[in-house]
Amino acid sequence: MQRIRSLIDRLQIKKWISTLYQIKVLRLIPPIVIIGLVYWEGQKEFRTIHWGKTLYYLRHIHPETLLFLFCFSLIAVSIMTLYDLLIRRHFQLPLSRWQTFRYGWIANTSSNLLGFAGLTGAGIRTALLRSRGTSYSTIAAAVGFLSTIPFTGLSLLAWFNIFAVFPARQITEVHHWLIYAVWGSALYLPLFVLLQRTTLFSKWFNRDRGQMQWRTISSVITVSFMEWLFAGLTFWFICRAFFPNLSFSAIFGIYILAAIAGMISMAPSGIGGFDLTALLGLQLLGHSPEKSAVVLILFRLLYYILPWLIGLIMAAFEFSRDRKKGTSPVSNESSQMSPAKKSLDESGEAANVTNTWLKLRSWPGPLGFIGEVSAWSLSKLVFIAGALLILSAATPALLYRFHYIENILSLPIMRLSHQLSIVIGIMLIVLSRGISLRVKRAYSWTLLLLCTGAIFTFAKAFDYEEAIILLLIALLLWMSRQQFYRLSVPLRKYHIIGWMIMTACITGVYYFIGASTRPFLKKPFHFHVGEHAPKLLGSSAFILSAVSGLLLAWLLLTLYYLLRPKQLNMPSISNTDRAKLSDFLERYPGNMLTHMLFAGDKSFFWAIDNQVLIPYAKIHNKLVVLGDPLGPREMVSEAIQQFQNYADQYALETVFYQTTPDYLPLYHENGYRFFKLGEEALVDLSSFTLSGKRNAALRAVHNRFEREGFRFEIASPPHQEKLMERLKYISDQWLRGKKEKGFSIGWFDENYLQLAPLALITDQENKVIAFASIAPVYDHDVTLSVDLMRHLPEVPNGTMDQLFISLFEFAREQGYSCFNLGMAPLASVGKSRAAMREEKLAHILFEHGESLYGFTGLRNYKEKFSPRWEPRYLAYPTNISLPVLLLELVSLVSRKPHKLRN
């Protein structure tokens, strides 16, 4: 104990945990580095762009042109679903054509926008196919087969570039390395055709189906060629909207080189490499940087972002349909429904009492499937709505509309609407996290802000397009209202700091965009812009809007923080709770850790109408349960699900600490994985004896203590004040100024020690030199255990041996058959070659970490009592990082215990 306490103090465990949480940010470094390098390489080209003019061109695209480009881009994206139709036919997947189209759209649009070399699409495709019962071997073969196909079409287009069908010499003369990139891409096609006929390809990519038929080869190449061809046509149509005199071959040559550069960069959607190459090519043809930038922005928006958003909604429908087939994780209302109401619903009488108002309230009825749109999809839409409001406020909009709106509204109202649009945009971006976490209050706030944002964006400059989009998102959010069930989420200081940094950056972007568009207010227009436009969008008014919007957003977010719902209340138990626990243990058996529930540092969750008890404590965003749930075994699985739903209301995860092997199947069926914590030593009292050569050392210790006048005795409660003072002195000497531990380890608390007998070792002067608190196991007098053990520093060698030997004799006399010596941490963990990586590391720590904590010494000490060893496990959800969790558990055990309330 002393050693591990010292180790925790030296390592500053809490600081480590906080650091490990922040390390997740490191995953963002690779794409940021790639994009940064591309920007560094092409900063000359980027500096030539006047972004204010670019935004001006972007907002003044003719609606009919934009609609045509959007429709054609959807056609181009749908071509990629032919890949999935190919693998459906080739691997005989049990999917309909419509299912295949949906799965292909979801996977391909995600891979297009987010995937590194298609890894994102492969993961999503695996999840979707697995939900339809497809075996992992078939999925692996299909995904592997598909991974080799998409580049063949671009390779074929590279040959068109080499033979000058689609030339782009202007770019290759500036960047000679692109010539080698084109040749490397072109050689992929013949290499693919050769390799697919080999045994290696058949084994690893064709699932031992033999050599691929030439018909299949031609089909996959054709599909890939069509994908890249239609993507290039989308790019060409967008270019034609701004450069009507540019030839098809010139644009397509630029597109081929840009696509190859994007593939080589390995960045998500080829961002950076594609854009820089295309921008350079269009500028070398003599076109303005601003219009070239508009082409790239529209291509990204129409071919990548909007199809991905459609894929998000489709994915939400797919996964929600799967949830309907199983147990809904959020349907707490049914479990909390009164018995009378349940009976009413089951008998069908509820249908007879529904009135017109209830029918209206349950609208959209048959269209209710829209309400299944997942919160993670809605959070993206809310984020986009906030960004749209800020972007709309930063740009001068369609200036001729000011003439119409100023005839209806006054300048102060327009100015207020402009500033509030900024505030609402910032808050929507922040609240999008609450939407993704399904928080009720975030839903209410977001719905209100979307509706008011639609009003203000209309009032500031007659931007009815943005208002319609915001109202549609609000409608979709309202239809999904049943998805929001959480009462609160963990909120820490770094969340507040993150909010402040993010809102400051957003305001900076707003100012940068707006400052770039201010010069357009000074140019002459052939239409009347109204008197209020310069006053509303002038430099001074613009800066005032930025600063006031930021300050007001901070104020509102601060109020939200101060008035937010209280986090999960974690009260220590009172005497009333203790009495309820005692009554419960008279009806149901306990376990080795049950007596520690009286200590007062755990909270109780009563499940299944108070028939199952789950004791837990909170650490960071986790509820850690001590031991297995108590109650009838047949009810434990349902109780675990109720506890998971309870924790999920507060965005918390549930963990079960020191679980026994008998309950592992129940944890497994509820989504947990396992880590072996160690083994518990259980002494069989019926066979334990001091006779024989094996126990000669124990026999000698026992005889010596009896010969020298040391005595063992049991003190029954209530314990006298004088005795408690002596025990407090022994405990303080044993601690030597170090703080107590808790949760799964006993600590000195007089109220707790008064609950059970105490085992005492006294010297010749009848002074207590060592003691242990006896912990009943509540298993009908089968097992006895000890909890708190302390002794004076100067006690004779073998004092604790004598204490245990005497306890064994006492327990046997009282009719007990088993004695629990406690757990040996990390014992027999990670010995197998097939063990988890973390368990193998734990085994190394067990063997070589004796200086940090006496792992082997503790096991060897308990081994001399000849116990049988029973494993203990940690059951935790698969989405939790095990190293972080283990540090959190150490922090939980090490923190100061709570006192028992009266």
Q: Is 168 exposed, middle or buried (0-12, 13-18, 19+ CB in 10 A)?
A: buried
Are residues 693 and 877 in contact, defined by beta-carbon separation less than 8 angstroms?
no
Give the pLDDT band (50/70/90) at residue 282.
Answer: confident
Average pLDDT over the chain, rounded to an integer: 74
Give the pLDDT band (50/70/90) at residue 206.
Answer: low
- % residues pLDDT > 70 (the chain): 67
Quick check: helix, strand or coil at residue 630? strand
Give the pLDDT band (50/70/90) at residue 793.
Answer: confident
| Residue-wise pLDDT tens digits, 537-589 | 545 555 566 566 666 666 666 655 544 555 566 666 777 888 888 889 888 88
Amino acid letter, residue 15: K
- What contacts 186, CB < 8 A, 6 or more positions away? 155, 158, 159, 161, 162
| Residue-wise pLDDT tens digits, 834-845 | 666 666 666 565
Residue predicted with more confidence, 300 or 29 = 300
* C-alpha of 360 from chain center: 36
pLDDT at 338: 38
- What contacts 271, CB < 8 A, 6 or more positions away? 35, 38, 262, 265, 300
Give the pLDDT band (50/70/90) at residue 756.
Answer: confident
For domain 680-875, say whether CATH 3.40.50.1010 is its number: no
Residue predicted with more confidence, 11 or 377 = 377
Residue predicted with more confidence, 419 or 750 = 750
Give the pLDDT band (50/70/90) at residue 883.
Answer: confident
Amino acid letter, residue 220: V
Same CATH topology for 575-671 and 680-875: the answer is yes
Q: Which of 68-72, 74-78, 637-641, 830-834 has the lowest mean pLDDT?
A: 830-834
The end-to-end CA distance of the chain, in Å, is 29
pLDDT at 201: 61
Average pLDDT estimate for 867-885: 86
pLDDT at 807: 92
Residue 730 has pLDDT above 60, yes or no: yes
Dmax (CA) of the chain: 114
Q: How many helices (H) and strands (E) does the chain have?
A: 41, 11
Choose which CATH entry (3.30.460, 3.30.1370, 3.40.50, 3.40.630) describes domain 575-671.
Answer: 3.40.630
pLDDT at 514: 62
Residue 361 has pLDDT above 50, yes or no: no
Average pLDDT estimate for 783-800: 88
pLDDT at 639: 93
d(CA 123, CA 105): 14
d(CA 80, CA 101): 9
Residue 502 has pLDDT above 80, yes or no: no
pLDDT at 625: 93
pLDDT at 656: 94
pLDDT at 290: 81
Residue predicted with more confidence, 96 or 173 = 96
Are residues 612 and 634 in contact, defined by beta-carbon separation less than 8 angstroms?
no
- Within 10 angstroms of residue 840's Cβ, the number of other Cβ atoms is 16
- What contacts 452, CB < 8 A, 6 or more positions away? 420, 424
Residue 336 has pLDDT above 50, yes or no: no
| Residue-wise pLDDT tens digits, 768-791 | 999 999 988 888 888 998 888 888
Which of the listed ranges 339-343, 468-472, 486-490 does the model predict with the highest average pLDDT? Answer: 468-472
Residue 488 has pLDDT above 70, yes or no: no
Give the pLDDT band (50/70/90) at residue 652.
Answer: confident
Average pLDDT estimate for 66-89: 91
d(CA 450, CA 444): 10
Q: Which of 252-261, 488-497, 870-879 has the lowest mean pLDDT?
A: 488-497
What are the boundaries of each domain within the chain?
1-41, 42-319, 368-557, 575-671, 680-875
| Residue-wise pLDDT tens digits, 1-44 | 344 444 444 444 444 444 444 444 444 455 555 555 555 555 55
Residue predicted with more confidence, 191 or 848 = 191
Residues in the chain: 902
- Within 10 angstroms of residue 359's Cβ, the number of other Cβ atoms is 10
Residue 663 has pLDDT above 80, yes or no: yes
pLDDT at 770: 92
